[in-house]
Amino acid sequence: MFRHFRSDVKTVFENDPAARSRFEVIFTYSGVHAIWAHRVAHALYRRRWFTLARIISQTSRFFTGIEIHPGATIGQRLFIDHGMGVVIGETCEIGDDVVIYQGVTLGGTGKEKGKRHPTIGNNVVIGSGAKVLGSFRVGDNSNIGSNAVVLREVPDNCTVVGNPGRVVRRNGERVGDRLDHTQLPDPVIEMFRAMQGEINGLKDEVGRLTSAGEGAPGTVRAIAPASAENGAQGRPANEVKETMQKELQEGGKSKV
Ligand SMILES: CC(C)(COP(=O)(O)OP(=O)(O)OC[C@H]1O[C@@H](n2cnc3c(N)ncnc32)[C@H](O)[C@@H]1OP(=O)(O)O)[C@@H](O)C(=O)NCCC(=O)NCCS
């Protein structure tokens, strides 16, 4: 017990540069007080003194703002910084060397029975306000960003951020595309670009068909069905027009 006591104080110095003296840590660090109260409550819980265990944990909550259910299993050197608003559920298991900031919830989704709270691996950091909900595992050496809402298993060596939580870093490597807030995609411009591409394609196709028909740019095929009589096929458009005008002036019928 005394060994734990010393290790808890040492852990504060390792994690909090603001810690100045042992005296200060022992008397003012609510995270340390909550862990000590939990050790007592958990021992009673394991001996099935459930109500007394609960009274101790709720008293601790009253003084520290940290609620650790007596049934929760916590490892060595847990550091709860600031602490206010931390909730740790009954079936939660926490490994060694874990850091938890204020406002963290290690809870259930409300849909599960039995084991319904997360299992936190070793050397995990859980940022302020993060919610880890469900009976999955958060892998060793992972970081949960502040205010993340984690609803799925987290592999080892990952950083998870956002709501819903997503892995943005794994084994030190960036995962997925980075969202550049200064260069967000514009769907309207994208649509116009696509339309411009289609227009260019159609222009090319028309040019290709035109040059295949007459062999000279600026000529079009006559739309009217070609026949040996009118001989309009393949004649330049202005020539066809002139012929039609001439025939109209002469009072004859256009045969084009
Ligand atoms: C997540 C955290 C632990 C850093 O882990 P890390 O593995 O070093 O990750 P990085 O700093 O490399 O960040 C990875 C990406 O996630 C983003 N990110 C980091 N923390 C984030 C958060 N809380 N929410 C949203 N995005 C976050 C970063 O901007 C970065 O994005 P980019 O790749 O587009 O640049 C840290 O940002 C954090 O949230 N710590 C909690 C600290 C805390 O609660 N302090 C309270 C003190 S009172």
Convert the pLDDT of each residue in 204-234 to its tens digit.
999 989 888 765 555 555 555 544 444 445 5
pLDDT (tens digit per residue) in 37-84: 999 999 999 999 999 999 999 999 999 999 999 999 999 999 999 999
For residue 147, give the ligand 1 atom closest to its CA: 23
Proportion of the chain above pLDDT 90, given as a percent: 70
- Regarding the beta carbon of 145 and ligand 1, being less than 6 Å apart is answered yes
* Closest-CA residue to 137 (of 171, 160, 163, 164): 160
pLDDT category of residue 125 using cuts at 50, 70 and 90? very high
For residue 87, the model assigns a pLDDT of 98
The more confident residue out of 250 and 45 is: 45
Average of per-residue pLDDT values in the chain = 88
Q: Measured at the alpha carbon of residue 111, what is the angle toward residues 95 and 80, in degrees to the nearest 5?
A: 30
> Which residue has the least CA distance to atom 12 on ligand 1?
169
Q: What is the average per-residue pLDDT within 78-100?
A: 97
For residue 144, give the ligand 1 atom closest to its CA: 1
Q: How many CA atoms lie less than 13 Å away from 169 in the CB half-sphere? A: 11
The more confident residue out of 246 and 141 is: 141
pTM to 2 decimals? 0.73
For residue 236, the model assigns a pLDDT of 64
Q: What is the average per-residue pLDDT within 238-243?
A: 72
Residue 20 has pLDDT above 60, yes or no: yes
Other Cβ atoms within 10 Å of 59 Cβ, number = 12
From residue 140, alpha-carbon distances to 45, 90, 151 in Å are 27, 21, 17
For residue 181, the model assigns a pLDDT of 63
Superfamily of domain covering 1-174: Hexapeptide repeat proteins (2.160.10.10)
Q: What is the average per-residue pLDDT within 183-208?
A: 88
Q: Yes or no: say if 96 and 75 are a contact pair by the CB < 8 Å rule.
A: yes
DSSP code of residue 149:
E
Q: Which of 98, 168, 177, 181 has the most ligand 1 atoms within 8 A of CB, as the residue to mutate? A: 168
pLDDT category of residue 102 using cuts at 50, 70 and 90? very high
The more confident residue out of 104 and 223 is: 104
CA 72 – ligand 1 centroid, Å: 27
Q: Where are the domains of the chain?
A: 1-174
- Regarding the beta carbon of 41 and ligand 1, being less than 6 Å apart is answered no
* E strand residue ranges, 151-241: 158-161, 166-170, 173-174
By the 10 Å C-beta count (0-12 exposed, 13-18 middle, 19+ buried), 173 is classed as exposed
